[in-house]
């Protein structure tokens, strides 16, 4: 290849990277975080409006942290002041001080948060239909300082249903949920469908799985790949190409001008776990900071007879990005009958958050081993960390209130934020929000 062609190729690659831009992935960290939570974080508070509050989503924009979920009231760290913040609150990321100027009102749960590229706006997704008494179904763009609705953003593609995930990838605001397209790319300024993603996502894995939807997705740090999990059975490529079976998970290549369906699939995802009441059992996915692998976590109770080691049932499983037809995950770590709701991969650790009792449950059963092997597991109540190479639990074991389980984790350059419905973290009172710093 001559020098001119090399220069042209380099320019084309550079254009692609610049146009797509980096995705908002978890922060790579140099060490495992502390087990001792910071003492400055605010707390959820039960009241007459919401008796069992929970945080479902976290995002940091500049020096401000945002927490969304199912709640009405928030208390400061010393429990001396209560703020009414329907389903979304902001506070200092290093101080925990609740903002007195940011007070939007969402009429239902917040499930997804994403800051704009220039930090001038916050995108909010969830089950709501009004924001500050103005109609906005499932997706809104607000002022991050005041919570005022930015009315120029009109996401008409969200005409029904709800939103569960939002990521900003270059010039594309990628949104997922149960709305008509299930996965859509919007103009971040106007909210219009920009046509970048046109995949026909359809089907339900069982009659009791609810509407077809994408529950969560992750984007590789270089912004070129997307993995989605949820309730669906088939995905068509752009232009209505042949139906492709993709029960519960699929992968997308994010190209220069369009997103295309990848050939990646893990065939055991076609199978059920033992809990027939939880047929759409995949709960979260996250890429490693270098993009070389991703980890999926799940509910579903234990594997059916003969499926241990192949089905991702109440487990965390690592998949290599380069392997488009894996016969088995690189490793699988079973909890033994308890849900993992969220995952964050930081390079040195794979953090999992849920209502698990254990990790390293060798036999994948609802017990810690059996008669001959009574301790074939590692106690990890509510939260844990897995070695990304061996797939075994790290010694990190702060423990937290298990509850229903934590539905988001956010790794930053300072440490790890933990969202949940639990009241305690490592024995200390941290209702719904905890932060553990890097050592």
Q: Is residue 301 part of a domain?
A: yes
- Looking at the DSSP bridge assignments, the partners of residue 296 are 285, 317
- Average pLDDT of the segment spanning 187-196: 98
The overall average pLDDT reported for the chain is 93
Give the pLDDT score at 21: 45
**pLDDT tens digit string along 292-344?**
999 999 999 999 999 999 999 999 999 999 999 999 999 999 999 999 999 99
**pLDDT tens digit string along 93-121?**
999 999 999 999 999 999 999 999 999 99
- Average pLDDT of the segment spanning 249-255: 97
pLDDT at 138 over 90: yes
- Average pLDDT of the segment spanning 397-425: 97
Q: Is residue 8 part of a domain?
A: no
Give the pLDDT score at 213: 98
DSSP state of 18: H
At 90, list the tokens: 């902001």
Give the pLDDT score at 5: 38
* Strand pairing report for 200-202 and 183-186: unpaired
pLDDT at 8 over 90: no
pLDDT at 2 over 70: no
Q: What is the pTM of this model?
A: 0.93
Confidence of residue 369 (pLDDT cuts 50, 70, 90): confident
Q: Is residue 132 part of a domain?
A: yes
Q: Is residue 134 part of a domain?
A: yes
Q: Is residue 4 part of a domain?
A: no
Angstrom distances, CA of residue 419 to CA of 68, 196, 203, 304: 9, 32, 31, 31
Give the pLDDT score at 195: 97
Identify the residue with better confidence: 15 or 46.
Answer: 46
Residue 318: other Cβ atoms inside 10 A: 21
Domain residues for the domain of 297 are 23-437
Overall number of domains in the chain: 1
Confidence of residue 244 (pLDDT cuts 50, 70, 90): confident
Q: Is residue 14 part of a domain?
A: no
Q: Is residue 316 part of a domain?
A: yes
- The widest CA-to-CA distance across the chain, in whole angstroms, is 72
Share of the chain above pLDDT 70, in %: 92
CB 88 within 8 A of CB 55: no
Place of tokens 């794979």: 350
- Which of the residue ranges 8-12, 244-248, 278-282 has the most confident prediction, judged by mean pLDDT? 278-282
Give the Cα separation of 114 and 107 in Å (integer). Answer: 19
Give the pLDDT score at 242: 58
pLDDT at 168 over 90: yes
Confidence of residue 163 (pLDDT cuts 50, 70, 90): very high
At residue 88, the 3 state secondary structure works out as strand
pLDDT at 9 over 60: no
Whose CA is closest to 263, among 216, 220, 322? 322
Q: Is residue 18 part of a domain?
A: no
Q: What is the CATH number of the domain that holds 195?
A: 2.130.10.10
Helix (H), strand (E) at residue 12? helix 3-20
pLDDT at 373 over 90: no
Query: What count of Cα atoms within 13 Å lies in the side-chain half-sphere of residue 403?
Result: 23
- Average pLDDT of the segment spanning 388-398: 98
């Amino acid at each position: 290849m001559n020098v001119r062609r090399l220069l042209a190729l380099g320019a084309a690659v550079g254009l692609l990277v610049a146009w797509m831009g980096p995705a908002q992935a978890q922060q790579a960290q140099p060490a495992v975080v502390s087990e001792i939570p910071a003492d400055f974080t605010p707390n959820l508070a039960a009241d007459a409006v919401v008796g069992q509050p929970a945080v479902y989503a976290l995002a940091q924009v500049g020096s401000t942290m945002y927490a969304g979920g199912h709640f009405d009231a928030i208390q400061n760290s010393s429990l001396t002041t209560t703020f009414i913040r329907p389903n979304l609150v902001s506070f200092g990321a290093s101080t925990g001080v609740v903002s007195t100027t940011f007070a939007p009102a969402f009429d239902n749960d917040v499930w997804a948060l994403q800051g704009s590229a220039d930090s001038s706006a916050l995108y909010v997704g969830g089950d709501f239909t009004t924001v500050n008494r103005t109609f906005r179904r499932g997706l809104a763009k607000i002022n991050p300082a005041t919570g005022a609705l930015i009315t120029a953003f009109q996401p008409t593609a969200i005409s029904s249903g709800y939103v569960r995930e939002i990521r900003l990838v270059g010039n594309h605001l990628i949104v997922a949920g149960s709305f008509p397209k299930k996965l859509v790319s919007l103009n971040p300024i106007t909210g219009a469908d920009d046509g970048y993603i046109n995949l026909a996502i359809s089907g339900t894995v069982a009659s009791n799985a609810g509407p077809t939807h994408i529950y969560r997705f992750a984007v590789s740090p270089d912004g070129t790949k997307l993995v989605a999990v949820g309730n669906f059975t088939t995905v068509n490529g752009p232009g209505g190409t042949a139906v492709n079976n993709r029960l519960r998970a699929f992968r997308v290549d994010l190209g220069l001008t369009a997103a295309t369906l990848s050939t990646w699939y893990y065939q055991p995802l076609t199978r059920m776990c033992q809990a027939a009441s939880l047929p759409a059992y995949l709960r979260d996915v996250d890429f490693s900071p270098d993009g070389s692998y991703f980890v999926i976590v799940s509910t579903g109770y234990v594997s059916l007879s003969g499926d241990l080691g192949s089905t991702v049932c109440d487990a965390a499983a690592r998949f290599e990005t380069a392997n488009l037809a894996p016969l088995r995950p690189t490793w699988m770590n079973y909890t033994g009958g308890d849900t993992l709701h969220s995952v964050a991969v930081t390079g040195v650790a794979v953090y999992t958050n849920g209502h698990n009792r254990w990790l390293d449950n060798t036999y994948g059963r609802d017990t810690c081993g059996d008669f001959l092997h009574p301790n074939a597991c590692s106690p990890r109540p509510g939260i844990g960390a897995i070695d990304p190479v061996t797939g075994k639990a790290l010694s990190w074991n702060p423990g937290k209130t298990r509850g229903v389980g934590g539905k988001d984790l956010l790794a930053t350059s300072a440490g790890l934020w933990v969202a949940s419905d639990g009241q305690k973290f490592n024995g200390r009172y941290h209702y719904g929000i905890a932060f553990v710093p890097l050592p």
